[in-house]
Amino acid sequence: MSIKIAIAGVGNCASALLQGIEHYRRVPRDAHEAWGLLHLELGGFRPEDVEVVAAFDVDRRKVGRALHEAAFAPPNCTRIIASEIAKSEVVVQMGPVLDGVAPHMSEYADERSFRVAAEDPVDVEAVLRDSGAELLLCYLPVGSTRAVHAYAEACLAAGVSLVNCMPVFVVSDPAWGERFRAAGIPCAGDDIKSQLGATILHRMVTRLFADRGVRVDRTYQLNTGGNTDFLNMLSRERLASKKISKTEAVTSQLPYEIDANDVHVGPSDYVPWQNDNKVCFLRLEGTGFGGAPVELEARLSVQDSPNSAGIVIDVIRAVKLARERGLAGPLLAVSAFAMKHPPVQMRDGLAARRVEEFVAGHGDG
């Protein structure tokens, strides 16, 4: 049985997910393990059981093209995991642009930036209904508040679960969360916490300081990258919710308040030649026994988009299970495990345990 999904934003994260599905499709069906995944099988579903039935974008190099071609179209620059993906009947449809494309994107070269197609937008709700999609992955650029709300409304109207992988607060917003609950639709969000990225590393070391009685006095997380996500984030006014999401993901791990001036977490610069390689520089300064100083520095280099796909592939399957079990509203443990800004923050170990229990048939996800 397949899991029918729709995608809003066929950018690098979507491309890495589709290529990863292709990669794991090649693992023999009787195999129980494969590298790079938390679960080859989750709740009876394997990565290749995920089937894309609808896709939306606004870029002229993607709209109107078959999904298996659009996934490789510029300005996507994610590392190639699978040079071809299964041929798809799905044609990428024109979404409502709204605030999806920042004005400064036009100042950069075609191959690095977004170029809006001339087509009129389709009726997203109707496409979702007709396609039979069970959930929509929202992969819109940071700062696309109105566009994300438009897709969320379409999900509510069509009975489709929202998996919000970006930092506009919908699932973690109590009013929106209640609307999904009242409509009987499970959802997960907001802002995906990558498999082994800056957020989980920063959370872990912050928690380690706290668990060992070392006070965190000051910390920063500086990130650079060269994909369109980093280019888009050069616009500081689009960053408000991203900054909250990334900062709270770290400070939530401390049992005390830390002055806002002593925490700096965020995207720091766009370095074109890095493409989808994200580099994170992390520093913590703390006070240990008798006031003795403790300092930690780390540099983490990852491929940004496969890193997010490694978690999304599990969220898709967990949301499918939630739908099968008739659950409604924000999935608290799944969101706490997989997202930077969930409705409720949990320690990562606890959230992971609760997700495993949920997959095994206990709890409400």
Ligand X SMILES: NC(=O)c1ccc[n+]([C@@H]2O[C@H](COP(=O)([O-])OP(=O)(O)OC[C@H]3O[C@@H](n4cnc5c(N)ncnc54)[C@H](O)[C@@H]3O)[C@@H](O)[C@H]2O)c1
Residues that bind ligand X (CB under 6 A): 8-14, 56-59, 62, 95-98, 100-101, 114, 139-142, 144, 147, 165-166, 191-192, 194, 227-229, 304-305, 307-308
Closer residue to ligand X (CB): 139 or 358: 139
Give min distance, CB of 101 to ligand X, in A.
5
Exposed, middle or buried by CB within 10 Å (0-12, 13-18, 19+), for 362?
exposed
- Using alpha carbons only, give the angle 338, 342, 344 rounded to the nearest 5 degrees: 120
A 10 A CB-CB count for 94 gives: 21
Q: Among 154, 146, 151, which residue's Cα sits nearest to residue 126? A: 154
H or E stretch covering 299 = strand 293-303
Question: What pairing do the DSSP bridges indicate for beta strands 277-287 and 215-225?
Answer: antiparallel
Give min distance, CB of 14 to ligand X, in A.
6
Sheet holding 263-270, edge to edge: 263-270, 215-225, 277-287, 293-303
Closer residue to ligand X (CB): 163 or 332: 163
d(C-alpha 44, C-alpha 68), whole Å? 26
**Both structure tokens of 300:** 């983490």
Closer residue to ligand X (CB): 16 or 42: 16
Give min distance, CB of 87 to ligand X, in A.
20
CA distances from 242 to 235, 238, 249, 302 (A): 12, 8, 11, 19
**Both structure tokens of 56:** 């939306």
Closer residue to ligand X (CB): 96 or 286: 96
* DSSP, res 47: G
Which residue's structure tokens are 């995608």? Answer: 7
Give min distance, CB of 188 to ligand X, in A.
13
Give min distance, CB of 178 to ligand X, in A.
24
Closer residue to ligand X (CB): 145 or 161: 145
Nearest residue to ligand X, scored by beta-carbon proximity: 11
Give min distance, CB of 102 to ligand X, in A.
9
Give min distance, CB of 48 to ligand X, in A.
21
* DSSP, res 74: T
